[in-house]
Amino acid sequence: MKVFTLSPSEFAFGFEGCKKCYYDKIVNNLKYASFFPPVFSLLDICQKKYYQGKSSKSISENLDEGVVITENSDRIIKSETLYDNKKRPFILRGKLDAYIKHKNFYTVVDFKTSSMSLDKAPMYSAQLHSYALMLENPSDKEKIISPVKTLGLFCFSPNQVIDHKKGSNTFQMNARWAEVKRDDKGFFSYVTSVLDLLHGEIKAVRNPKCTVCAFVDRHLANEKKQS
For residue 118, the tally of other CB atoms under 10 A from its CB is 12
Shortest gap between Cβ of 123 and ligand SF4 (angstroms)? 17
DSSP classification of residue 221: H
Q: Are 6 and 91 contacting, i.e. CB atoms less than 8 angstroms apart?
A: yes
> In the window 169-188, what residues touch ligand SF4 (CB under 6 A)?
none
Q: Cβ 212 to ligand SF4, closest distance in Å?
A: 4
**Identity at 182, one-letter amino acid code:** R
Per CB under 6 A, does 25 bind ligand SF4?
no
| Residue 69 within binding range of ligand SF4, rule CB under 6 A | no
- Please identify, among the stretches 62-70, 84-92, 183-191, 208-216, the one whose residues bind ligand SF4 according to the rule CB under 6 A: 208-216
Min. distance of Cβ 193 from ligand SF4 in angstroms?
A: 17
* Smaller CB separation from ligand SF4, 161 or 212: 212
Our finding on whether 27 is near ligand SF4 (CB under 6 A) is no
12 binds ligand SF4 (CB under 6 A): no
Name the one range near ligand SF4 by CB under 6 A: 82-90, 94-102, 125-133, 203-211. Answer: 203-211
Nearer to ligand SF4 by C-beta: 32 or 171?
32
Q: How far is the CB of 9 from ligand SF4 (least distance, A)?
A: 16
Site residues for ligand SF4, 30-49, by CB under 6 A, read: 32
DSSP notation for the chain: ---EEE-GGGIIIIITT-HHHHHHHHHS---------HHHHHHHHHHHHHHTT-BGGGT-TTSPSEEEE-TTTTSEEEB--EE-TT--EEEEEEE--EEEEESS-EEEEEEEE----GGGGGGGHHHHHHHHHHHHSBSSGGG----EEEEEEEEEEEEEEEEEETTEEEEEEEEEEEEE---HHHHHHHHHHHHHHHTTSS-----TT-HHHHHHHHHHHHHHHH-
**Residues touching ligand SF4, count (CB under 6 A):** 9
Q: Is residue 197 at the binding interface for ligand SF4, with CB under 6 A as the rule?
A: no
State in Å, rounded, how far the first CA of the chain is from the last one: 45
The binder of ligand SF4 chosen from 12, 13, 20, 113 (CB under 6 A)? 20
Does 215 engage in binding with ligand SF4 (CB under 6 A)? no
- Contacting residues toward ligand SF4, per CB under 6 A: 18, 20-21, 32, 206-207, 210, 212-213
